[in-house]
Amino acid sequence: MSTLTFDAMGLNPALLTALKTSGYVTPTPIQQKAIPDVMAGKDLLGIAQTGTGKTAAFALPILHRLAENRVPPRPRTTRALILSPTRELATQIGESFKAYGQHLGFRVAVIFGGVKYGAQERALQQGLDVLVAAPGRLLDHIQQKNLDLSTCEIFVLDEADQMLDLGFIKPIRQIVSRIPAKRQNLFFSATMPSEIGKLAGELLKDPVKVQVTPQSTTVERINQSVIWVEQGKKRALLTEMFSDPEYKRCLVFTKTKHGADKVAAYLEAGGVEAGAIHGNKSQPQRERTLEAFKKGKLRVLVATDIAARGIDVDGVSHVVNFELPHVPESYVHRIGRTARAGKDGSAVSFVAGDEMKLLRDIEKVTRQKIPAVDRRNDKQLAQLDASIMASGVGKKATLPEREGGDRNAGGRGRRNPHRDGVRPEGGGQPHRQRKGQRAEARPTPERVFDPMAKERARERPRVVNNDPRDAAPAKPEGQIKRRPRRRPSNGGKGYAARA
């Protein structure tokens, strides 16, 4: 099995030509074990780490089977369906199918959310041989009757464990219920939690289990290390690390979307080319940022766990865990972005005091102890952080810099074209005036506290119709009697109703 080559597997000659063009000669262990069984039409449960060639392990035999029984797809149908948890991973799988099947002329489309429906609807109307989709947008097209899965022959669930982590279990069951029972099922995952085993038992029929590495282990070529650092000094440490030229192309992972933006802005202020990618970014923004990272225009890409399995970039030298993930298995997927295709890589994790439990959980799942290294000089980090923060990174824009004027214009911080007054030092509001005119400030009268003001008001004569002759002396306070208000006893209907 170890000497098995693509030629010996009996793949379609067009696929072999595409593989030679791409420079692939020897299959990886997961490919050696999975491709023959998938070509035979068997259900398969494949467990392998990220970066071991899982995509080719199911893409090549699927294209081979479709070429053996070539049938023109009917409109609004597909012969093979591959589900992916993220947009980036779906795009990567679609590109692999197009690259491997470039000499076969198959119709391949990728569908996910965040983009308009028009191009996706047109692709579905023509009929597809291979459809790669994210569950949410796929269900939308099914409900709008743009897609019929009654002719689907092959169903692939890639990164099944992350599908469950993202809460896609219900959409998966809805999609599977629309596919014919007579089909080939392929499950691929980097880890094998109990939930995946339960789902596999429901959907797979006498599957062949292929496992090339122990569950939840990390690639041996990755040099892992831990740096103990306080939470408030992580950004300064990260910026200082990029003074080392060995950090050529790096991925930095954070737990939150807002945190990813803050880290990227901090690195930019420190002179490091960086960009952020996460779920709040639009699809065009994500694609542009990822493309700039691939071309080397960005030295650092800051991402959240949602993109941990969808980023396939050659030559990632380092993966930095700015914050440890809450799910230990996510650590395996994060550091799997480096040391791909047999290359070496490094993974560095910043660990603060409140992340000790997360580190112990990771070491328990991966069954290894991650060595710790000495952190950088605290004084140097403090000086670097002070210099970067002095540049204004992370601070809100002052009101005079905001679009629309300063705080003193109009009194609300936004410039009104019909009002251009100035607030005086003593307070008060500017006068309203016509457009193009400038009003002078109206001073606010000074108020003096007078404790006897009420008493004098009682003694002041009341004036009727502004005529002093009609003035009547005010009654002394002791003679003022107020009749208490009585509540009617007829159910609240009032005195008139009672009368």
Give tens-digit pLDDT for 156-183.
999 887 787 777 888 998 999 999 999 9
Average pLDDT over residues 400-405: 36
Q: How far is residue 269's CA from residue 251's CA, in Å, rounded to a whole number?
A: 18
- 320, β-bridge pairs: 252, 348
DSSP structure class, residue 133? E
Residue 118 pLDDT greater than 80, yes or no: yes
Write down which residue in 343, 360, 390 finishes a domain: 390
User: Average pLDDT for residues 299-326, to the nearest whole number?
Assistant: 83
Kindly state whether residues 233 and 156 are assigned to the same domain: no
Which residue bears the tokens 């500017």?
A: 430
Q: Please give the model's pTM, rounded to 2 decimal places.
A: 0.62
Q: Are residues 268 and 351 in the same domain?
A: yes
Q: Are 198 and 227 in contact (CB under 8 A)?
A: no
Residue at 499 is within a domain = no
Average pLDDT over residues 461-485: 52
- pLDDT band at residue 420 under the 50/70/90 scheme: very low
Banded model confidence at residue 74, pLDDT cuts 50, 70, 90: very high
Q: What is the pLDDT of residues 421-442, one digit of tens each?
A: 444 444 444 445 555 555 555 5
Please, what is the average pLDDT of the chain? 79
Task: Indicate if the pLDDT at residue 193 is higher than 90.
Answer: no
Burial of 448: CB neighbours in 10 Å, binned 0-12, 13-18, 19+ = exposed
Tokens of 339: 């040391």
Q: Which two tokens stand for residue 18?
A: 């595409």
What's the Cα-to-Cα distance from 486 to each of 481, 482, 490, 498, rounded to whole Å? Answer: 15, 12, 12, 13
Whether 190 shows a pLDDT value over 70: the answer reads yes
Shared domain check, 275 and 129: no
Higher per-residue pLDDT: 386 or 452 = 386
Q: Among 20-29, 144-153, 266-275, which is the least confidently predicted range?
A: 20-29
Domain-terminating residue out of 176, 211, 246: 211
3-state secondary structure of 55: helix
DSSP state of 148: B
Which of residues 180, 211, 242 is at a domain's end? 211
Pairing of β 462-464 and β 467-472: antiparallel
In a domain, 297, yes or no: yes
Local structure of 373: helix, strand or coil: strand
Q: Is the pLDDT of residue 417 over 60?
A: no
79 in any annotated domain: yes
* Residue 498 resides in a domain: no
DSSP helix/strand/coil, 432: coil
Q: Which of 155, 186, 157 is closest to 169 using CA atoms?
A: 157
- Residue 421 in domain: no
Q: Are residues 112 and 235 in the same domain?
A: no
Of 94-98, 376-380, 411-415, give the lowest mean pLDDT range. 411-415
Q: How do strand 372-373 and strand 222-228 relate by DSSP bridges? A: parallel
The alpha helices in 191-256, defined as continuous H runs, are 194-203, 234-241
155 bridge partner residues: 81, 185
What pLDDT is attached to residue 26?
A: 84
| CATH number of residue 325's parent domain | 3.40.50.300
Comparing 157-171, 333-347, 399-413, 447-461, which segment has the lowest mean pLDDT? 399-413
CA-wise closest residue to 98 among 190, 39, 164, 22: 22
- Assess whether pLDDT exceeds 70 at residue 66: yes
Residues 119 and 235 in one domain: no
pLDDT grade, residue 89 (50/70/90)? Answer: confident
Q: Are residues 106 and 130 in the same domain?
A: yes
Number of domains in the chain: 2
The answer, yes or no, to whether residue 24 has pLDDT greater than 50, is yes
How far apart CA 303 and CA 277 sit, in angstroms, is: 5
Nearest to 302 by CA among 265, 327, 332: 265
Instruction: Please report, for the chain, how many H helices and E strands are present, in that order.
Output: 17, 16
Please name which of 11, 8, 17, 57 lies closest in space to residue 212, comparing C-alpha atoms. Answer: 57
Q: Do 196 and 97 fall into the same domain?
A: yes
**Average pLDDT over every residue of 59-69:** 95
In a domain, 84, yes or no: yes
Q: Which of the residue ranges 7-16, 366-375, 396-405 has the most confident prediction, judged by mean pLDDT? A: 7-16
Summarize pLDDT for 231-242 with one digit per residue, the tens. Answer: 888 999 999 888
Asked if residue 491 belongs to a domain, the reply is no
Residues 28 and 47 in one domain: yes
Q: At what angle do helices 118-126 and 135-143 cross, to 10 degrees?
A: 70
* pLDDT, tens digit (0-9, with 9 covering 90-100), for 284-293: 888 899 889 9
Residue at 46 is within a domain: yes
Q: How many residues does the chain have?
A: 499
Contact 389, 355 (CB under 8 A): no
Instruction: Look at strands 184-189 and 154-158 and give their pairing.
Output: parallel
Are residues 191 and 262 both part of a single domain?
Answer: no
Rg (CA), the chain: 35
**Torsion of Cα atoms, 79 then 80 then 84 then 89, to 10°:** -100
Helix, strand, coil percentages for the chain (3-state, nearest 5): 35, 15, 45
DSSP string, 376-421: PPHHHHHHHHHHHHHTTTTPPPPGGGSTT--TTSTTSSS-BTTB--
Residues 311 and 191 in one domain: no
Structural domain harbouring 296: 222-390
In this predicted structure, what is the pLDDT of residue 179? 94
Q: 253 with 308, same domain?
A: yes
Instruction: Return d(Cα 148, Cα 292) in angstroms, integer.
Output: 37
Q: Is 150 found in the same domain as 251?
A: no
At residue 226, the pLDDT reads 93
